[in-house]
Amino acid sequence: MSRIGRLPIPVPDKVTVTSKKDLITVKGPKGEMNLTVPTGIKVKIGEDKIVLSRKSETRELSRLHGTTRAHLANRVKGVSEGHNKILLVQGKGYQAEVQGRILEMQLGFSHKVLFEIPDGLEIEIKPGQNSFTLTVSGIDKHLVGAFSAELYKIKKVEPYNLIGFRYSNQYVKRKAVKTIT
């Protein structure tokens, strides 16, 4: 039995979960999401929890059991609380602003960097001295992570002066300044 798959998923009060054949719909205060359950995985929806089980003990179903449970738990959390990633951007003269659905950043290049914000995501910018903080939030964990990774790839943090993008929980080991001997 999968250790992750057998854990029950707690359902908050404001969230409703319905099942129709292999399609599970999760509705909450932040929105609505769907999940198609693979064949062989059974979903039992209770009043305050969801339990997943599998019909047989094959290797493929064992893998899908934990994965399906994680995807369903992420959808329940997304429609109730939402997901977010915090990016710290440090560099002299670095700026960002949101204009409509476009994220416009000045990052030391000869041009401005423009990103179209996907539907379902919100960007919050908190300016600081020689830095700013970008908070990417939404109900879909995959979309939040993918957009954050695209932003991170623009200019990864360098270990000498910590200039560039880094996640708020990322530890960067600082390197000593190179000297001439």
* Mean pLDDT estimate for the chain: 93
Runs of H (alpha helix) within 100-166: 141-154
9-80 belongs to CATH 3.90.930.12: yes
Share of the chain above pLDDT 90, in %: 81
User: Minimal CA–CA distance to 27: which of 109, 110, 105, 139?
Assistant: 139
Distance, CA of 76 to CA of 93 (rounded, Å): 40
Delimit the domains of the chain by residue range: 9-80, 83-167
pLDDT digits 0-9 by tens, 118-154 = 999 999 999 988 899 999 999 999 999 999 999 999 9
pLDDT category of residue 176 using cuts at 50, 70 and 90: confident
Give the CATH superfamily of 83-167: Ribosomal protein L6 (3.90.930.12)
Write down the pLDDT at residue 180: 83
CA 87, distance to chain mean position in Å, is 12
Instruction: Read off the tokens for 92.
Output: 């002299």
pLDDT digits 0-9 by tens, 31-48 = 999 999 999 999 999 989
pLDDT digits 0-9 by tens, 85-126 = 999 999 998 999 999 999 999 998 999 999 999 999 999 999
DSSP state of 111: S
pLDDT category of residue 2 using cuts at 50, 70 and 90: low
Write down the pLDDT at residue 3: 81
Instruction: Read off the tokens for 178.
Output: 């190179």
pLDDT digits 0-9 by tens, 46-95 = 989 999 999 988 888 988 999 999 999 999 999 999 999 999 999 998 99
Q: In terms of pTM, does the model score above 0.75?
A: yes
Query: What phi and psi, each to the nearest 5 degrees, are found at residue 147?
Result: -70, -40
Residue 1 has pLDDT above 80, yes or no: no
Pairing of strands 102-106, 95-99: antiparallel
Helix (H) / strand (E) containing 95: strand 95-99
Instruction: Read off the tokens for 65.
Output: 């059991």
Cβ atoms 92, 107 nearer than 8 A: no
Domains 9-80 and 83-167 are alike in CATH topology: yes
